[in-house]
Chain A
Amino acid sequence: MATAAERKKLFGHAENNYLNCTKGIRSWIFTLDHKRIGVMYLVGVTLALLLAGVFALILRLNLWTNTSELLTDAQYNQMFTLHGAVMVFAFIIPSIPAALGNFVLPMMLGAKDVAFPRLNLCSFYLWILGTGFLLWAIISGKGLDTGWTFYTPYSIQTDTGVIYATFGAFILGFSSIFTGLNFLVTVNTMRIPGQGWFKMPLFLWGLYATAIIQVLATPVLGITLLLLIAEKAMHIGIFDPKYGGDPVLFQHFFWFYSHPAVYIMILPGMGVISELIAVYSRKKVFGYSFIAFSSVAIALLGFLVWGHHMFTSGQSIVVTLIFSAITFTVAIPSAVKVFNWLATMYKGSIALTTPMCYALSFIFLFGIGGLTGLFLGALSTDIHLHDTYFVVAHFHFVMVGGTLTAVFGGVYHWWPKMFGRMYNDNLGRLSCFLVFMGFNLTFFPQFVMGARGMPRRYASYDPEFTIFHQWSTAGAMVLGIGIVLGFGVLVYAAFKGPKVAGNPFGAASLEWQSSSPPDFHNFIHQPILHDPYDFESMIYDEELDTYVPKEFMEPDKQPATEPEPQTH
């Protein structure tokens, strides 16, 4: 029990917090605070997203007609390569774990920081360095035109900046490994007493499964890229057929990392969605252990399917069949999650806040993305669809419709915690609507095009595809506006939005038992452990206009009925 003044101190809006507890640029550059590192990461990955997004818009504009008026064909190749490489390595892989995860994970465990704060900062600087090398490929004027996959032998023949870019990706790999390693250790050793594995919020299961992949798969990418660099610099004859090497070996190595990497991209997103669906349906999550274990199952099965990217590479038929069969099994845990989210919403009291809108569009778009993966995993259809726009549409549905949407949902959800201010919910919903419409307009026509044989990575096309490409380009503009609006609303809120107290949404996981923004030490008091989805454990405090743990409310002030959750 605590007095109103104490509650205000613990759970109110905090004027003194981690953002302003120390001042000056050095206090940020050398910070070891996971919250600040998370915020810096968030800024970084957002810039990477915007940059690569501009590349994408240029690509789409170039495709408005089939005569390439904007770019030469060579420039087009460079543009899609950089778009892909920056998006994958610099944005989407670090986005949720390193930015949101860094901020939220220790707090969800009731800990003061991650296990290795210096390694955490190091990871961020490696991110900057790696992204710098990627961009150096552009700035140096050499460009890069291999596609984000760096396939040999072309990557050895081209004289664009393959070495810079691969070295950048190598460094980014280590940045990712360090984040993953840190999270694995933190979750294992730093949970608050009493928090068993099954009392963790599902976001942590998602991050944990992701971290397993980061630690197990990324080193293989590292050595592959080093060998590629050696091959390019010295022709060691491992991947280059001219010197007796085997280019398909490169593909195996590359996809041994990059298929699991697509789960590095999606699993944290699924974790975010599990939180959002529960909180905004105000209902205990349905099938907790199924969602938790499906994350781990996806992480492990994900290591066994890389060959589905190589059905047409000439690998043996037996291997192809096996890879196809296992690919189908990966769809099962993904579907388990979707069913559980839907069941969680059933009879919940759903609040259509901005994060929830994003969560709903995630379920829809990821559903389409995952189901079309099955078309690609089936041998007979993949021979036809491989390297067409169908594949492009498939992975954009999962990566943009899935992960990017989850990034937005998560950022909107935790923004009031990060900055202690509330955004305009209507404008947030508008951004979600624009993203959803723009996205579908952009990528749905690509399924049709691809099924009709439009190959990917071409700067021009047969006239019969014109109308699809024009829809797609128009959609991309809408999508771009939606994304910019989404960030605009948030940035405005961080500076000018109305102040909020600790827990405006009535969520029950531990990170909400702090002031907003949190104190440097995360919690001023020892947080009180409840089930993360026991929303009854948080009680509305009228004075603070926020939810506080029931232990802190005086019994007579506890309202008999639950008030509606806040929907500003």
Chain B
Amino acid sequence: MAVVEPEHEAHDDHHDHGEFIAHHFESAEQQFDSGKLGIWLFLVTEVLFFSGLFVAYTLYRVLHPEIFDQAHVFLDKYLGFANTLVLLFSSLTMAVAVRYAQLGKNQHVVWYVLGTMVCASAFLGVKAIEYTHKWDQGIMVRSYFDYHAGHHEASMPLARALGVSDYLIWISIVPVLLLVGFALFAVFAKLTEKANAAFFSACMAIAIGGYFIGALAGHFYMELTDGGIGGRSEKAAALMAYEDETHSDHEHTDKPADHHDESAAEQQKETSEIAPYEGPQNDEFDQDIGIFFSIYYCMTGLHAIHIIAGIGFLAWILWRSILGHWRSDYFGPCDYVGLYWHLVDLIWIYLFPLLYLID
């Protein structure tokens, strides 16, 4: 081992150090490798973080298959499927963005990252429709579960004017504020001639606009199909649950006969003639379905939080792309965020069949 004489002090840190090589790394490769290993480890922790929920899911599904059978029909599989496509597409745009970052084509990265963000927001928009639709009907976690089918008149004037749920108005406040804020800031930055900031804010406004695209699409789907056709129509499902209970002497394990939409609709017609329907909200059985929704809300809620965080990371990548930071020897952050994004998609790929496609 050669002895480095003290004269050659290692203080000249900035030898061949690129602009973005932190002082404690020897080389661009070392920095990239560290980041890559770091992000992979982080993804491992993410998987383990979700693992608790998957274990809980498995356990309750094994112990109470009937709950899962009865409950999943409240989820609309077409909405779920649409969201799956949106996320898959966003993974594609992200992968392309990373490729362009590797090539140092920053302008392309901007567009593809923006596309990814629009998809992410659209996903949340659809999710918002799904959630609020359920809340309207009292489909909540176990202790608040109080299902009541039928149409729900909103109480807020605005909600009534738009023909949407009160809850939707509430949860849309944040995206509205963000959208307006970014749009205004874009104009302001344009006027003060901060070109990059103006462009970034405009992109952010578009990205958040994705939420409204998703929500609108979801909303019209619900309107057109009168509450969605992807699940069995809720009323029928609830009736079936109710019937199952009264006719099978509290045998919860009884599987509902079949799940086709027509037969459900038929049944709906039939039953609505037979007896005045009181709704199952007061009996034990109905409430147990709530455990499914506890798990559903925990899983999809945690996933949604990850999507939101992902939008934050993507915004950072967007900003740096606008500044033109990526070069063929420096594109790590874009790569790492891309990996994170793929993981978030992957988790959804598991959640979708586990929750929506139970039969």
Interface of A is mostly: helix
From 1 to 30 in chain A, residues with beta carbon under 8 angstroms from any chain B beta carbon are: 1-2, 6, 9-10
Q: Which of B172-180, B242-250, B271-279, B289-297 contacts A (4 or more CB under 8 A)?
A: B289-297
Q: Quick check: B10 and A244 within 8 Å, CB to CB?
A: no
From 267 to 316 in chain B, residues with beta carbon under 8 angstroms from any chain A beta carbon are: 288, 290-291, 294-295, 297-298, 302
A525: chain B residues within 8 A (beta carbon): 4-6, 9-10
B25: chain A residues within 8 A (beta carbon): 190
The smallest beta-carbon distance between B342 and chain A, in angstroms, is 19
CB-based nearest B residue for A246: B59
In the assembled complex, B195 has its CB within 8 A of some CB on chain A: no
Q: Quick check: A236 and B41 within 8 Å, CB to CB?
A: no
The smallest beta-carbon distance between B27 and chain A, in angstroms, is 11
Q: Quick check: B59 and A230 within 8 Å, CB to CB?
A: no
Q: Given A185-B38, A188-B37, A244-B291, does the pair A528, B3 have CB atoms closer than 8 Å? A: yes
In the assembled complex, A177 has its CB within 8 A of some CB on chain B: yes
Q: Given A181-B41, A236-B298, does the pair A243, B52 have CB atoms closer than 8 Å? A: no
Q: Which of A115, A237, A245 has the largest number of chain B CB atoms within 10 A?
A: A237
Q: Quick check: A222 and B49 within 8 Å, CB to CB?
A: yes
In the assembled complex, B323 has its CB within 8 A of some CB on chain A: no
Size category of the A interface is 35 or more
The smallest beta-carbon distance between A412 and chain B, in angstroms, is 28
Q: Which of B98-106, B137-145, B233-241 contacts A (4 or more CB under 8 A)?
A: B137-145
B142: chain A residues within 8 A (beta carbon): 235-237, 243-245
B144: chain A residues within 8 A (beta carbon): 234-235
The smallest beta-carbon distance between A35 and chain B, in angstroms, is 12
The smallest beta-carbon distance between A136 and chain B, in angstroms, is 23
CB-based nearest A residue for B288: A244
A429: chain B residues within 8 A (beta carbon): none
- The 8 A CB mask of A222-262 against B (1 = contact, 0 = none) is 11101100100011111000011110010001000000000
Q: Quick check: A237 and B291 within 8 Å, CB to CB?
A: yes
In the assembled complex, A457 has its CB within 8 A of some CB on chain B: no
B49: chain A residues within 8 A (beta carbon): 219-220, 222-223
* Interchain CB contact (< 8 A) of B37 among A189, A222, A236, A523: A189
In the assembled complex, B156 has its CB within 8 A of some CB on chain A: no
**With the chains together, A245 CA to B143 CA distance in Å?**
11
Q: Give the A-B pair count, Cβ closer than 8 A.
A: 135
In the assembled complex, B11 has its CB within 8 A of some CB on chain A: yes
In the assembled complex, A209 has its CB within 8 A of some CB on chain B: no
Q: Quick check: B294 and A236 within 8 Å, CB to CB?
A: yes
CB-based nearest B residue for A519: B11
In the assembled complex, A194 has its CB within 8 A of some CB on chain B: yes
From 126 to 183 in chain B, residues with beta carbon under 8 angstroms from any chain A beta carbon are: 141-144
In the assembled complex, B42 has its CB within 8 A of some CB on chain A: yes
In the assembled complex, B196 has its CB within 8 A of some CB on chain A: no
**With the chains together, A521 CA to B1 CA distance in Å?**
21
The smallest beta-carbon distance between A197 and chain B, in angstroms, is 15
B15: chain A residues within 8 A (beta carbon): none
**With the chains together, A558 CA to B4 CA distance in Å?**
20
In the assembled complex, A157 has its CB within 8 A of some CB on chain B: no
CB-based nearest A residue for B143: A235
In the assembled complex, B253 has its CB within 8 A of some CB on chain A: no
In the assembled complex, B50 has its CB within 8 A of some CB on chain A: yes
In the assembled complex, B53 has its CB within 8 A of some CB on chain A: yes
**With the chains together, A9 CA to B7 CA distance in Å?**
11
A552: chain B residues within 8 A (beta carbon): 3
In the assembled complex, B82 has its CB within 8 A of some CB on chain A: no
Q: Given A116-B34, A181-B42, does the pair A227, B51 have CB atoms closer than 8 Å? A: no
Q: Quick check: A215 and B10 within 8 Å, CB to CB?
A: no
Q: Quick check: B44 and A216 within 8 Å, CB to CB?
A: yes
Q: Quick check: A181 and B294 within 8 Å, CB to CB?
A: no
Size category of the B interface is 35 or more
**With the chains together, A497 CA to B80 CA distance in Å?**
68
In the assembled complex, A529 has its CB within 8 A of some CB on chain B: yes
**With the chains together, A245 CA to B298 CA distance in Å?**
15
In the assembled complex, A367 has its CB within 8 A of some CB on chain B: no
**With the chains together, A10 CA to B9 CA distance in Å?**
10
B298: chain A residues within 8 A (beta carbon): 227, 230, 236, 238
Q: Quick check: B6 and A238 within 8 Å, CB to CB?
A: no
In the assembled complex, A568 has its CB within 8 A of some CB on chain B: no
In the assembled complex, A145 has its CB within 8 A of some CB on chain B: no
Q: Quick check: A181 and B38 within 8 Å, CB to CB?
A: yes
In the assembled complex, B358 has its CB within 8 A of some CB on chain A: no
**With the chains together, A259 CA to B37 CA distance in Å?**
26
In the assembled complex, A184 has its CB within 8 A of some CB on chain B: yes
Interface of B is mostly: helix
Q: Quick check: A521 and B34 within 8 Å, CB to CB?
A: no
A177: chain B residues within 8 A (beta carbon): 45
CB-based nearest B residue for A253: B52
* Interchain CB contact (< 8 A) of B23 among A112, A230, A529: A112
In the assembled complex, A541 has its CB within 8 A of some CB on chain B: no
B42: chain A residues within 8 A (beta carbon): 181
In the assembled complex, B261 has its CB within 8 A of some CB on chain A: no
The smallest beta-carbon distance between A6 and chain B, in angstroms, is 5
CB-based nearest A residue for B64: A244
**With the chains together, A264 CA to B53 CA distance in Å?**
24
A524: chain B residues within 8 A (beta carbon): 6, 9-11
The smallest beta-carbon distance between B192 and chain A, in angstroms, is 29
**With the chains together, A526 CA to B53 CA distance in Å?**
49
Q: Quick check: B41 and A111 within 8 Å, CB to CB?
A: no
CB-based nearest A residue for B301: A230
In the assembled complex, A132 has its CB within 8 A of some CB on chain B: no
A189: chain B residues within 8 A (beta carbon): 30, 33-34, 37
In the assembled complex, B46 has its CB within 8 A of some CB on chain A: yes
Q: Quick check: B45 and A2 within 8 Å, CB to CB?
A: no
**With the chains together, A220 CA to B50 CA distance in Å?**
8
* Interchain CB contact (< 8 A) of A237 among B50, B52, B55, B141: B141
**With the chains together, A551 CA to B1 CA distance in Å?**
10
The smallest beta-carbon distance between B247 and chain A, in angstroms, is 23
The smallest beta-carbon distance between B256 and chain A, in angstroms, is 20
In the assembled complex, A348 has its CB within 8 A of some CB on chain B: no
In the assembled complex, A511 has its CB within 8 A of some CB on chain B: no
Q: Which of B41, B288, B290 has the largest number of chain A CB atoms within 10 A?
A: B41
In the assembled complex, B260 has its CB within 8 A of some CB on chain A: no
**With the chains together, A524 CA to B295 CA distance in Å?**
56
The smallest beta-carbon distance between B252 and chain A, in angstroms, is 11
Q: Quick check: B30 and A236 within 8 Å, CB to CB?
A: no
From 163 to 196 in chain A, residues with beta carbon under 8 angstroms from any chain B beta carbon are: 177, 181-182, 184-186, 188-190, 194
**With the chains together, A194 CA to B143 CA distance in Å?**
61
Q: Quick check: A521 and B10 within 8 Å, CB to CB?
A: yes
The smallest beta-carbon distance between B241 and chain A, in angstroms, is 16
**With the chains together, A529 CA to B6 CA distance in Å?**
16
CB-based nearest B residue for A5: B6
CB-based nearest B residue for A33: B24
B41: chain A residues within 8 A (beta carbon): 181, 184-185, 215
B22: chain A residues within 8 A (beta carbon): 117
Query: Can you pick out 13 interface pairs between chain A and chain B where the beta carbons lie within 8 Å of each other?
Result: A2-B5, A113-B24, A114-B24, A115-B38, A117-B24, A182-B38, A185-B38, A189-B33, A215-B45, A227-B53, A243-B142, A524-B9, A525-B9
9 further A-B pairs in the complex, CB-CB below 8 A; given A189-B33, A223-B53, A523-B10: A115-B38, A184-B41, A186-B34, A223-B52, A234-B141, A238-B60, A243-B143, A244-B288, A524-B10
Chain A interfacial positions (CB closer than 8 Å to B): 1-2, 6, 9-10, 111-117, 119, 177, 181-182, 184-186, 188-190, 194, 215-216, 218-220, 222-224, 226-227, 230, 234-238, 243-246, 249, 253, 521, 523-526, 528-529, 551-552
Top-4 shortest CB links A-B = A237-B142, A235-B143, A223-B52, A236-B294
Chain B interfacial positions (CB closer than 8 Å to A): 1, 3-6, 9-11, 13, 22-25, 30, 33-34, 37-38, 41-42, 44-46, 48-53, 55-56, 59-60, 141-144, 288, 290-291, 294-295, 297-298, 302
